[in-house]
Amino acid sequence: MPKLSLLGLNHTTAPLEVREKLAFNAQQQSAALAQFRQKFTSSEMILISTCNRVEMYAATDAQGEPGIRQMIEFLAEFHDVPSSTFADHIYQKADREVVEHLFSVASSLDSMVLGETQILGQVRQAYESARAAQLAGPVLHPLFQRAISVGKQVMHQTPLAEGRVSVASVAVEYARNIFEHFGDKTVLAIGAGKMSELVLQGYVSLGAGKLLVCNRTADKAQELAAQFKGQSVAFEKLAEHLVAADIVVSSTGAAHPIITRTMFDGLLRQRRYRPIFLIDIAVPRDIEPAVGEIENVYLYNLDDLQEVVSRTQAQRKDAVAAARAIINAQLEDYLASQRQRELGPAIQQLYTRYHQIAQEELARTLNKLPNVSEAERAHLEDLARRIVNKLLHDPIQVLRRTDEMHLPASQYLHALEKLFQLDALSSDQNDSAPPTLPPDSEDGQAP
Amino acid sequence: MPDVPGTGQLVLLYAAAGIFTLALLFSLLRFFNAEKTSLRTTAKVCIYLGILMGIAVITWRALNRHSWLPLDDNFDALIWLGLLLALFLTYMQRAHPLGGLDLFLLPIVVLVLVLAGIFGRTKPRAYLETTWSLTHLIAAFGGVVAFAVAAAGGVMYLVKSQQLRRKKMLSGQGLGSLERIEHLTFVSVSLGFALLTVGLVTGLVRAIDTHGHNSLGPDWYRNPKVLLAFIAWIVYALVLHSPINPSFRGRRAAILSVVGFVLMIGTVVAVQYMPSH
């Protein structure tokens, strides 16, 4: 029976310095999935890596691999960092908790920014990558499908996404603390990804005077700049653009800082010591933390935005409660469907076996009663069917409620197979047509 | 010669200072509970009440002295200074609200009123002998009002800057943007600097002109109030030259604005204890 497990760390458990060491960019993610598949051939794995979290969802194989220890080792080996550097920051979950956590993640309830929709896309992307690597199997495939569906439901049916606070809006709120007017300000976006687009949108709505987009790939920069009537500028002349900029938003996928203290020190005089607001939302970070120590330089990274976000989260308790209600309902429904999937064949076998016995005994009795009319025969057949259904009703109900009683369905399933010798029946039936469940009876005791 | 303030006038003055202190407390509470509009209203009522009480003291004194120009001595002048600051605050609250300004201006108002109460007990002196004296006094006190606002702006800038550096945004209304606070400080310093310059020049002319000789004595340039005023003038000149030398902008300018105001207060005190002859 496969077991679900999760190993992860996020913005609440690990500081940015730790998260950036374990983050996977797109290429690394593909490589990691390939390595995992090579190492654990019959396990499933989906890897979510965003600015705020790194999470490995695994469905273990018959040998129970990978265990949590193996997952930790995998992470450490892949990134070539000692496991001691992040061991204190990780969390691990199993089975039901994994499902609940994933639903919360997909619904943005576990995000730094409540109601943000990006995470749903990131969960979907992680699932697609795993599917492409043939690592999303019968356990993780339905789980992630359901998680994506839950995320959508929460976004559409709760006020969580309405007036949501995104990283972009938080960045704009912070900028208002430094600048009063934006018409004479220059905003520089480094990186032309979705995040840059969102932030630029925020500053355009504030009436920013000039927008510059700087990206290694010039085409992308031009495309984004055109969208906001801005100007694309050469990445190689980044220092020059920093002199002109009042607000800088950096979100590249660079592995090392692209703005260093030494570089910035040399720009201060040219900037005439004007205040500058630097927002580093890249993981790993694009701007050396030491830059933030310079006079009139205000540097914020992802973790720094937590303050504003936590304030808005406190104000949105109703929306969170509505989202939680959906998640809980979906969680129960999903677990019930999973139990049904696990127990369904066994229950079907049980009904088939006992209805067969009843039919055999009925036939034997009818043979001894030669004058039974068709109507009486039908009554007797109905009697036999109802006795079997009533006898099986209670044990089947208990089986279906195993999760409510915090008991693993597999234990009951194993006992069921042994007590009623379903193993033998199963092997007999493998050669014949699949059994069908008895139709709903009027006394409502069909499975 | 103006009279020494009476006990009733002093009691009313200290009551006004108490009311402004209450306004400060309510403003503080409102700062951390922005949703409670009743606190805001109460703080405003206290400020208006304090202003009325201050005007009542001035009027009472004027009736006693049969003089309606409330600059005869430092008692009157300091009360006016406090009232002008409070009036400036109410104007800002109504026309150009700047979050937290009341938290930084009201302590100065209270301080100035208490100083008036203390100096009011000293022997009064007549100031308004000539037009030079009147110009000197109006310019000097106008400068102090402007510098008080600049000092409040300076402290606000430092607090806000520190908040942003520590990445701890205060809950509630919050202070205004750094850019706005810096602008307020710069405009106040510019105005104060112009008035202080006029005050310094007219003060020196008045000192010479009064009796045909220099009333500050031959070593007038060593006189503490002249020295303090001149040092303050230099300090504010440094703040004002920040557009030319931008390394003086931001925190440095804010600190200098506070230092300058401390020097100005020192000058006011020096005027009391080291009067010209």
Q: Per-residue pLDDT tens for A285-342?
A: 999 999 999 988 999 988 787 666 666 666 678 888 889 999 999 998 898 888 777 7
Residue ranges, comma separated, of all CATH 1.20.120 domains in chain B are: 1-125
| Strand positions, DSSP E, A119-246 | 186-190, 210-215, 231-234
Average pLDDT over residues A241-270: 91
User: What average pLDDT does the segment A257-286 reach?
Assistant: 90
Dihedral sign of CA atoms A166, A172, A173, A174 in order:
positive
Which CATH code fits B1-125? 1.20.120
In percent, the amount of chain A with pLDDT more than 90 equals 41
pLDDT for residue B1 is more than 50: no
The crossing angle, in degrees rounded to 10, of helices B7-32 and B74-95 is: 30
Selected catalytic residue, list A16, A45, A51, A143: A51
Please say if the pLDDT value at position A172 is more than 80: no
Asked if B171 and A295 come within 8 Å (Cβ–Cβ), the reply is no
Judged by a CB distance cut-off of 8 A, whether residue B169 touches chain A is yes
pLDDT (tens digit, 9 = 90+) per residue, B113-133? 998 888 766 555 555 567 777
Q: Taking the domains of chain A in order of start, what are their residue ranges?
A: 4-157, 167-313, 338-429
Give strand pairing partners of A58. A5, A45
Residue B136, token pair as written in the block: 């000197």
Q: Which residue has the higher pLDDT, B3 or A12?
A: A12
The ipTM of this complex is 0.83
Q: Between chains, do B250 and A275 touch, taking CB under 8 Å as contact?
A: yes
Among A101-105, A168-172, A219-223, B272-276, where is mean pLDDT lowest?
Answer: B272-276
Identify the bridge partners of residue A400 per DSSP, sorted by sequence position.
none
Contact A393, A445 (CB under 8 A): yes
Overall CATH class of domain A167-313: alpha beta
* A273 → closest Cβ in B164, B168, B249: B249
Q: Is B179 on the interface with A (CB under 8 A)?
A: yes
Cβ B164–A274 below 8 Å, yes or no? no
Q: Which of B163, B177, B246 sits opposite A179 (nearest CB)?
A: B177
Instruction: List CB contacts of B106: < 8 A, sequence separation 6 or more.
Output: B20, B21, B23, B24, B27, B47, B86, B89
CB within 8 Å: B167 and A304: yes
Predicted confidence at residue B93, as pLDDT, reads: 86
Q: What is the pLDDT of residue A148?
A: 95
CB contact under 8 A, A177 and B250: no
Q: Do B250 and A272 touch (CB under 8 A)?
A: no
**Mean pLDDT of all residues in A396-402:** 74
Q: Do B250 and A300 touch (CB under 8 A)?
A: no
Under 8 Å CB pairs connecting chains A and B tally to 47
Q: CB under 8 Å to B36, separation ≥6 — which residues?
A: B29, B30
Read off φ and ψ for residue B126, nearest 5 degrees: -85, 135
Q: How high is the pLDDT of residue B157? A: 93
Question: What is the Cα–Cα distance from A210 to A84, expressed in whole angstroms?
Answer: 46
CA distance A268 to chain B (A): 9
- The superfamily CATH assigns to domain A4-157 is Glutamyl-tRNA reductase, N-terminal domain (3.30.460.30)
Residue A178 with chain B: CB contacts under 8 Å: 164, 177-179
Average pLDDT for A90-98: 92
Cβ contact B164–A177 (<8 Å): yes
Q: Please tell me whether the overall predicted TM-score, pTM, comes out greater than 0.90 for this model.
A: no
A214 part of the active site: no
Nearest CB to A307; choose among B169, B178, B179 = B169
Give the closest of B177, B247, B250 to A180, CB-based: B177
State whether residue B34 sits within 8 Å of chain A by CB: no
Provide the pLDDT for residue A438. Answer: 42
Q: Is A381 helix (H, G, I), strand (E, B) or coil?
A: helix
Take residue B190 and report the two structure tokens written for it.
């510019």
Per-residue confidence (pLDDT) for residue A166, from 0 to 100 = 66
Please tell me which residue of chain B has the smallest CA distance to A297.
Answer: B165
DSSP conformation class of A250: E
pLDDT above 80 (res A42): yes
Q: How far off is chain B from A179, nearest CA to CA, in Å?
A: 5
Give the pLDDT score at B202: 86
Instruction: Identify the H or E element spanning A6.
Output: strand A4-10
- The reported pLDDT for the residue numbered A437 is 40
- Closest residue in B to A272 (Cα) is B246
H helical segments located in A278-373: 306-314, 317-367
Helix, strand, coil percent content, chain A, rounded in steps of 5: 55, 10, 30
Distance CA B252, CA B157 (A): 10
| A196, A224 Cβ separation under 8 angstroms | yes
